[in-house]
Amino acid sequence: MSTSTIRTPGPSTPCKEDSCKDGSCVNLLSYYFCLCSEGYYYKSSTCNKGKIFPGTIKVKISYTSELENKASEAYQNLYIQVTTFFKDTFNNSEYGQTVIVKVSASTSARSEMRAGNQGVDVAVVNIFTESTKENETTISNAITKAINAPSSNFSGYDQQDQCDYYGCKKPNDQNYCDNGLLCECKDGLVRPKPQMPMCVAMCSDTCNAQSKRQCLVKSNGTADCICLPGYKEDKQGICQECPFGYSGINCEDSFQLILTIVGTIAGIVILGMVIALIVSMRLKNKGMNVEEETLIEKDSRNLRLKETGFSNLGAEGSIFPKIKVNLPRDNQPENPYTRHIPRPDY
């Protein structure tokens, strides 16, 4: 699709019924632009067939999620900055307009951020009149010269050949596909409609949820019909549900299985600790009971001794108790061996 460079301040919905007479209107924050069919540019209130020159320009600004929203102030400022740059660069009657195709974070954003610079990649298509004498070389040289200017807010430009832009095969190893409607699509790409110049990645009609499949577009632009997450293709090419513990694309995620194993081990450890605690408490209670029984037995024995007047019953291996008898010293029997014998007087 092509856009105009018309910028008219207005409310949150700047587009009116008659804003784009020969195209479709797209709202920005306070401006609007007009879209034409692929390969056409909007000028003088009409869509004109032109010659395209696709590429990617790097802008020296920080990437934010607001750049994905065309109704945001950030996107509007970027749109004005980029389109004004190309309009000033191609200041001639053959220039039609610039179309912003995609805005993304720079592929070298991390290294640039360490160096103190941040960048945003803006995929653009510059459209000139169909009869222009400009070619890819002259366009690229003009852009590079403008970028190298001292006051430039741009850091680089990567040219894209038209064949890759349209998704077509290069005819006779040439890098030029001036007509997207006539070029042959690359393998894995198809042209949805005969009047559409772009070749896009598409899967067959059998790639649907009923067959447990989904269409995945790869980074190189090709499409691949794969099984839905939680399913894996078997030898017969049928998507089967993942075995227990596995999930994700092609059943490569084993998080559920790991969680089950860890939970089982943790349960066994906790159960073992509970059993050990119960056994330990019972052994401790049993030891306390034996000690209490010993103390009770001793107290009972001492109580019996007090009642009988005996002490140390059965001590020193004797089966009879010892009896303590307190006799007065005057009544002690005289030892016959220490008895004094009077001597005779002679």
- To the nearest 10 degrees (0 to 180), the angle between helices 136-147 and 73-89 is 110
pLDDT at 327 (0 to 100)? 57
The answer on 141 and 33 residing in a single domain is yes
Where a domain ends, among 239, 271, 303?
Answer: 271
The answer on 138 and 28 residing in a single domain is yes
The answer on 198 and 130 residing in a single domain is no
- Tokens representing residue 344 in the block: 């005779």
Calculate Rg over the CA atoms of the chain.
50
Where a domain ends, among 241, 271, 301?
Answer: 271
pLDDT at 284 (0 to 100)? 76
pLDDT at 245 (0 to 100)? 80
263 membership: H or E segment, kind and range:
helix 255-308
* Cα–Cα nearest to 175, from 58, 86, 53: 53
pLDDT at 341 (0 to 100)? 58
Examine residue 90 and state whether it is found in any structural domain, yes or no.
yes
The answer on 197 and 237 residing in a single domain is no
Q: Give average pLDDT by consecutive 10-residue segment, the chain, 346 residues.
A: 50 77 87 88 90 93 90 93 94 90 77 59 94 91 92 90 85 68 81 82 80 77 81 88 83 78 89 88 73 69 61 52 58 56 58
Examine residue 337 and state whether it is found in any structural domain, yes or no.
no
Where a domain ends, among 222, 249, 271?
Answer: 271
The answer on 178 and 54 residing in a single domain is no
Examine residue 264 and state whether it is found in any structural domain, yes or no.
yes
The answer on 154 and 34 residing in a single domain is yes
pLDDT at 169 (0 to 100)? 85
pTM above 0.75, yes or no: no
Examine residue 313 and state whether it is found in any structural domain, yes or no.
no
Contact 2, 42 (CB under 8 A): yes
For residues 127 and 151, give the distance between their C-alpha atoms in angstroms, rounded to a whole number: 25
pLDDT at 126 (0 to 100)? 95
The answer on 39 and 105 residing in a single domain is yes
For residues 30 and 230, give the distance between their C-alpha atoms in angstroms, rounded to a whole number: 46
The answer on 128 and 177 residing in a single domain is no
The answer on 153 and 106 residing in a single domain is yes
Domain count, the chain: 3
Examine residue 346 and state whether it is found in any structural domain, yes or no.
no
The answer on 25 and 118 residing in a single domain is yes
Contact 292, 298 (CB under 8 A): no
Measured torsion, CA atoms of residues 59, 60, 61, 65, in degrees rounded to the nearest 10: 40
Full residue range of the structural domain in which residue 214 is found = 203-271
pLDDT at 164 (0 to 100)? 86
Examine residue 7 and state whether it is found in any structural domain, yes or no.
no
The answer on 228 and 217 residing in a single domain is yes
The answer on 144 and 77 residing in a single domain is yes
Contact 252, 242 (CB under 8 A): no
Examine residue 327 and state whether it is found in any structural domain, yes or no.
no
pLDDT at 128 (0 to 100)? 94
CATH number, domain with residue 135: 3.30.70.960
Computed from CA positions of residues 187, 104, 48, 50, in that sequence, does the dihedral angle turn out positive or negative? negative
Any idea what DSSP says for residue 137?
H
Examine residue 1 and state whether it is found in any structural domain, yes or no.
no
Residues 11, 12, 16: CA angle, nearest 5 degrees: 70
